[in-house]
Structure 1
Amino acid sequence: MIEVVKVMVADLKPGMYVSGLDRPWLETPFVLQGFRISSEEDIRGLRSHCQYVFVDIEKSRHVDYALQRKRRVQRPRLSREAMFPTRRLVNYTDSAAWAEEYPRAEDAVQQLSQGLEEVFQNARDGAAVDVVRVKRSVEPMIDSISRNPDACIWLARLKEQDKYTYQHSLGASIWGVALGRQLGLPRSDLRSLAIGGLLFDVGKLRVDPALLHSDHALSTEELNALREHVRHGVDMMAETGLMNTDVLSMVAHHHERHNGSGYPQGLAGDDIPIFARIAGIVDCYDAITSHRSYARATSPSAAIKMLYDVKDIDFQAELVEEFIQAVGIYPAGTLIELSSGEVAVVVAEYRTRRLRPRIMVLLDADKQPLNSVRMVDLLHEAEDSNGQPLDIVNSLEPGAYGIDMNSIHL
């Protein structure tokens, strides 16, 4: 079995074989898609483009203890019931169509966004985090995802780059509830996931903004200062008097990793509270699909592949697989290229036919805007206008061909 581990560029050494990057190879000057590091110059080149890479252990000539720690954890698979032995799981079904749910989701996410921005601004000014306001704000979003998650998932893909901190929290909250729904967790747990997703990064409000928005590789001291956001978050939660242990675990442990390579305590496996394990996945997914100061957004399908590659390394395999089922390979809001050459955006997925979603075609085969967009249901339309098979051939990165998702009106 090929063993591939994720390694931060700061931990790279000559002799390691780099088999993958945290971004598409075409975005970098590297000619070969896979190479063995031969010098410090190679490492500097990787550092200028990547935060982390994937290293093939078998092809590497240097496997030290730090790398060994990143090996995949081998263990029996667990059922949902085994992961949540004290919960009575729910079988959710879509009770609203996309067209019906979208306006309600739009209102819910707008309310949540406004409430979160005010809570964060007040906390930044020194006030305690208003947990009561947060709890009240998440309810409409939970209702919407319970009825049909696609509308909120679409809205989670719309991000204002200059407001990354709270938009990331908003996205993580939506992904967390979507995963909780997929797992069949009861309403009270969906609420905990929603609140925890909003607040697990709240400690960053007490971190130097220059570190948060740095576009260069951080020094060891800077990285340690950034990691202090976990401790700050725990302190800020203590100030609120919040007693929800699931939410508190998300704040305290969302950077722990399944094989023990995370921080701040280096917890591993079942020692990491399960809601914190969920937080780690949604934190990672939302981050790498967002534009950040030091990295462009990754396409959803590429992000899903990254998560799949590190299952039972960084994240518990069962939860990764459930997350993939929850959001799909092409979640709502994903830009795609069709076999016809046209470019479209995914509007809604079918739970049983993930590769044949409902889409909105935006650009023609020459990548020019259409005079009027058109809706296509790939589940029922298998051919293009020339009678050729119509399929998705590629997932595009956000902003491809100058498409502004915020300008799309449904």
Structure 2
Amino acid sequence: MNKNTPFSNTNEKSTKLIEVKLPADCLEIGMHVTRLDRPWTEVPVLLQGLTINSFEDVDLLRTHCNHVFIEIDEEFWLEKGSNTSKEDKAKHYPGFRERKAFREELPRAKLTLEETRSHVEDILDSIERDDGIDITKSRAVISSCVKSILANANALLWLSQIKDQDHYTAEHCMRVGILAIAFGRFLDMDEKELELLGLSGMLHDVGKMKIPKDILNKPSRLTRIEFDIMRQHTTFGKEILETYKDLEPMIKDVAHYHHERIDGKGYPEKIHGGYLHKYIRMITIVDAYDAITSNRSYKAGSPAFDALKILFSERGKHFDTELVEAFIRMVGVYPPGTLVELTNGEVGIVISANTESRLRPKIELVLTANKKNRPPYIINLLDDVLDESGEVYAVKTGLANGTYGINVKDYTQI
């Protein structure tokens, strides 16, 4: 941990450190925890006193504690308390505010997803044939996605995670658009911003249609020469979108720069991330997350938790640190659509993450402990719901779709 952080217990300035009581859901990476609201022996940590170095540490404390005590620079704390900026407040994101119940929004979300998938396929086919993109239709489709996410983000997120490996590029563009809208919603962006962000995400990879098919769809890893050709998709994307004068410049910039990195080691122009617009930095994260978690012809997709660890390990290098941490809070350890087994043997499907504790999502139970079908029943693990034996429900592990004969897609039927 950097010595100059205001949360450090060793400070070069010799400033006064004070102990402050803090709700567990306000914990951040870098904070030094001195005391808990319970004995240290009740929390699975190795030593008394803990510097939070990872989002796993944050989840551990949020799961076991209601509040903790941290050691912090007194001057920084007083300054933060008396003059908290809008930017500081925004770091504690409120999460998704639901206007409709999950099941109530699901029918509209299904229609929206089908319309979006069909339109993205039309876009890519048109580019391949050197025909025009129906931008008016694109805006209408994205507007429908935004309205669904504003009503209940988890319905469309859940449905979009049912992936089709055979149509990767189209599905990827669609999911990046949807995930980008959800991410913007999580950051409390307004409807117009969400529409611009979503359209930027949906069109970010259109340049891939100008990459030779034998490289784009190669069933094994690319050679160095092939990868250099693949990299050209960002330039091709910008060139394609430049022909549409009514498209916002940001959409064209996202297509061009979404493979740049915070440390300036990306492509095509090795621009330092600090000079890139927030939308580009957001879609860089969303693009990487979807790529890592998707099955490819040459590699199985990684579980969401592993993907989040990769994103977290690359913060400050490949990705914007604050945005990565916000994205992790949004997605949760078990994202919507994940099949999970609980500690009592019951099986369920994650409906939504809880920003207060990513290890305790909202779940729809679908199998009994004996792995028998049961009427779907929704529980929120954050409420410490008890099972039939009086034990608190908790997630034991995530499962691959198809385990115990459960196909998540079957549970999207209305």
- Relative to the length of structure 1, the TM-score reads 0.74
Q: Is the 8 A contact 1:203 1:233 kept in 2?
A: yes
Report if aligned partners of 1:334, 1:398 keep a CA contact under 8 Å in 2. Answer: yes
In the alignment, what sits opposite 1:179?
183
Equivalent position of 1:224 in the other structure: 228
Q: 1:382 aligns with which of 376, 385, 390?
A: 385
Secondary structure of the equivalent of 1:395? strand
Structure 2 Cα separation of the partners of residues 370 and 308 of structure 1: 37
Q: 2:409 — aligned with what?
A: 406
Distance, in Å, in 1 between the alignment partners of 2:105 and 2:117 is 18
Q: Matches of residues 7-406 of structure 1 in structure 2 within 5 Å?
A: 81=87, 93-365=97-369, 368-370=371-373, 372-380=375-383, 382-401=385-404, 403-406=406-409
Aligned partners of 1:256 and 1:242: how far apart in 2?
25
> Residue in 2 aligned with 1:23?
none
How far does the alpha carbon of each residue in 1:30-70 deviate from its partner, in whole angstroms, 9 at most, with x for none? xxxxxxxxxxxxxxxxxxxxxxxxxxxxxxxxxxxxxxxxx
Say if 1:90 and 1:186, in contact at 8 Å, map to a contact too.
Answer: no
Q: Give yes or no for contact 1:129–1:237 (8 Å, CA) kept in 2.
A: no
Partner SS, residue 149 of structure 1:
helix
Q: CA deviation at 1:356?
A: 2.8
Q: Equivalent residue for 2:21?
A: none
Question: 3-state DSSP class of the match of 1:360?
Answer: strand
Residue 152 of structure 1, CA deviation: 1.1
Give the SS at the match of 1:265.
Answer: coil
Structure 1 pair 91–280 and aligned structure 2 pair: CA distance change class (3 A): closer
Post-superposition offset of 1:281: 0.4
Deviation at 1:363, TM superposition (A): 4.1
Residue-by-residue CA offset, 1:356-384 (whole Å, 9 max, x unaligned)? 33322344446x45265444343445333
**Structure 1 spans left out of the alignment, 5+ residues:** 3-77
Whole-Å Cα distance in 2 between the matches of residues 256 and 316 of structure 1?
Answer: 11
> Structure 1 residues 162-171 or 325-334, which shifts more?
325-334
Separation of aligned partners in 2, 1:199 and 1:301? 27
Q: How many residues align?
A: 332
Question: Is the CA contact (8 Å cut-off) linking 2:260 and 2:273 kept in structure 1?
Answer: no
- 2:360 aligned counterpart, secondary structure: strand
Q: Is the 8 A contact 1:98 1:348 kept in 2?
A: no
What is the CA-CA distance between 1:133 and the residue it aligns to? 1.7
> Is the deviation greater in 345-354 or in 320-329?
345-354
The equivalent residue for 2:71 is: none
CA 1:219–1:168: 2 relative to 1, 3 Å: same
Cα distance in 1 for partners of 2:166, 2:120 equals: 15
Equivalent residue number for residue 66 of structure 2: none
TM-aligned CA deviation for residue 256 of structure 1: 0.5
What's 1:13 paired with? none
Change (3 A) 1:91 1:151: closer
Contact between 1:80 and 1:183, CA under 8 Å: does it hold in 2?
no
* Structure having the higher Rg: 2
The CA deviation at 1:401 is 4.9
User: In structure 2, how many angstroms separate the alpha carbons of the residues matched to 1:265 and 1:79?
Assistant: 34
TM-score by length of 2: 0.73
- SS of the counterpart of 1:148? helix
**Which residue is 2:19 aligned to?**
none
* Percent identity for Structure 1 against Structure 2: 31
Amino acid at match of 1:138: I
Kindly tell me: are residues 167 and 188 of structure 1, through their superposed partners in 2, closer, same or farther at Cα, counting changes over 3 Å?
Answer: same
Name the SS of the counterpart of 1:119 in structure 2.
helix
> What amino acid does structure 1 have at the position aligned with 2:316?
D
Which structure is richer in relative contact order (CA contacts within 8 A, separation 6 or more)?
1
Question: 1:348: how far off?
Answer: 2.9
